[in-house]
């Protein structure tokens, strides 16, 4: 997130109606990604878990958004805290923010910043749920995302985007959430997949997307919403936001074509719609940390190289027999980390100095700032360690409490969580065997994709 005021003090600049309008629009655009992600995951899931995939993403968003209003915003983005690690409760229940401004967004009301960033917080847990769709119970899941957001997401957000956060003062470059959102989600998905265990029939059959049309529609909605996700992270209607939105589109186009080509060349596939969607998504993930720091055309490099990195990572995860259902770790974890490193290489002063206070910007290797890539790795490592440690502790703690065990039973898994957890079905007039009768035989390549 680009800081429009880097003093760390309460902002006194006049409100700007253009900035307010753009961030209101961006908030709506990011919200569109919620149903987009839900459709995306539903289409990739087995038919018996298609409705629970839809519902899980929206439930997680609602739980986190309420947490954000109660105290999450104040912990993550309070500008009255001088701590390097966490905010405070000065803005609990989002009181006194309609008529004030936050130091990191000087020309819009603090309430608008809270709403906009609440969309980021709300979608992040939805991302990692893709790793365990069909295995995680709904009620414990809601408790988990509440705790995870409070203990993992809020501190990482403060580190990276608060004016006093220690990663921010270290000059770690994460424009719109490559580490804050995507890396933390990818790592959490991997930990959940390992701790909840593989599906009972993992290795016995090949899983495939039950509805590629949902995947396609979900991808387009997420791509559309990413204009606000990255373009709005300038927290103002300015040139920085234009460059971020432009780079986002360029990267997505390059990533989609590159991933589809890899499937054709290596896996001998045709023009796979799911492979194309996979490439679009991982490219969008990768360009997120660098979109406001690099020249827009560099999006071609971000998209193409990340498609290769994530394609290889998917195969690597499978080689270790890890049942990350929708490849969240390979898409978000690797995509987010890879994008952070590329940002350290391609960031340039010509872009990073746009619309910020003099002397507050840094750059990457293209401008001979050789320390930036090691700094990026430090940011990546800190997010990974913090996320792994606390995710493990939260899962262990919840599994020790009666009624809060995250993993469903083998019987519930077999019938599907649409039936066992919701009692409703996506396709009530079509039998599941009819929907799933064309499963590929074991040994055939499957193509799946994971989230934003």
Question: How much is the pLDDT for 269?
Answer: 80
pLDDT digits (tens, 9 = 90+) for 137-184: 999 999 999 999 999 999 999 999 999 999 999 999 999 999 999 999
Q: What is the dihedral of CA 421, 398, 402, 127, to 10 degrees?
A: 0
Q: What is the C-alpha separation between 301 and 261, in angstroms, rounded?
A: 15
Mean pLDDT of 271-300: 96
pLDDT tens-digit profile of 305-360?
Answer: 999 999 999 999 999 999 999 999 999 999 999 999 999 999 999 999 988 765 67
- Judged by DSSP in three states, 407 sits in strand
Confidence of residue 109 (pLDDT cuts 50, 70, 90): very high
Does the reported pTM lie above 0.85? yes
* First CA to last CA distance, the chain: 18
The pLDDT assigned to 358 comes to 52
* Averaged pLDDT for residues 194-215: 90
């Amino acid at each position: 997130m680009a800081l429009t005021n880097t003093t760390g003090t309460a902002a006194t600049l006049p409100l700007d109606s253009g900035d307010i309008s753009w961030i209101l629009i961006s908030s709506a655009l990011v919200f569109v990604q919620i149903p987009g992600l839900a459709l995306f995951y539903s289409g990739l899931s087995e038919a018996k878990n298609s409705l629970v995939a839809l519902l899980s993403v929206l439930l997680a968003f609602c739980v986190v958004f309420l947490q954000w209003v109660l105290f999450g915003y104040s912990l993550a983005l309070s500008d009255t805290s001088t701590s390097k690690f966490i905010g405070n409760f000065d803005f609990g229940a989002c009181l006194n923010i309609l008529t004030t401004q936050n130091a990191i967004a000087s020309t819009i009301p603090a309430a608008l910043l809270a709403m906009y960033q609440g969309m980021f917080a709300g979608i992040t847990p939805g991302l990692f749920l893709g790793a365990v769709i069909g295995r995680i119970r709904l009620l414990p899941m809601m408790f988990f995302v509440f705790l995870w957001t409070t203990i993992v997401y809020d501190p990482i957000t403060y580190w990276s985007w608060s004016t006093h956060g220690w990663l921010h003062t270290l000059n770690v470059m994460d424009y719109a959430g490559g580490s804050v959102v995507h890396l933390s989600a990818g790592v959490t998905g991997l930990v959940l997949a390992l701790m909840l265990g593989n599906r009972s029939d993992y290795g016995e059959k090949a899983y495939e997307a039950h509805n590629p049309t949902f995947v396609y529609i979900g991808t387009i909605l997420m791509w559309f919403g990413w204009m606000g996700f990255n373009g709005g992270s300038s927290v103002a209607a300015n040139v920085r936001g234009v460059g971020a939105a432009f780079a986002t589109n360029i990267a997505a186009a390059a990533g989609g074509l590159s991933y589809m080509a890899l499937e054709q060349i290596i896996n001998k596939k045709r023009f796979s719609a799911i492979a194309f969607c996979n490439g679009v998504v991982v490219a969008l993930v990768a360009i997120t940390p660098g979109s406001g720091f690099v020249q827009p055309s560099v999006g071609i490099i971000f998209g193409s190289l990340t498609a290769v990195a994530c394609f290889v990572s998917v195969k690597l995860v499978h080689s270790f027999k890890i049942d990350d259902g929708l490849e969240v770790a390979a898409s978000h974890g690797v995509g987010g980390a890879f994008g952070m490193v590329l940002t350290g290489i391609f960031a340039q002063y010509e872009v990073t100095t746009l619309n910020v206070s003099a002397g507050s910007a840094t750059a990457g290797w293209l401008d001979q700032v050789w320390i930036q890539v090691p700094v990026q790795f430090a940011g990546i490592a800190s997010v990974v360690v913090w996320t792994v440690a606390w995710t493990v502790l939260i899962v262990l703690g919840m599994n020790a409490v009666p009624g809060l065990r995250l993993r469903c039973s083998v019987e519930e898994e077999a019938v599907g969580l649409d039936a066992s957890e919701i009692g409703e079905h996506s396709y009530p007039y079509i039998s599941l065997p009819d929907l799933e009768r064309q499963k590929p035989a074991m040994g055939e390549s499957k193509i799946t994709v994971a989230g934003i």
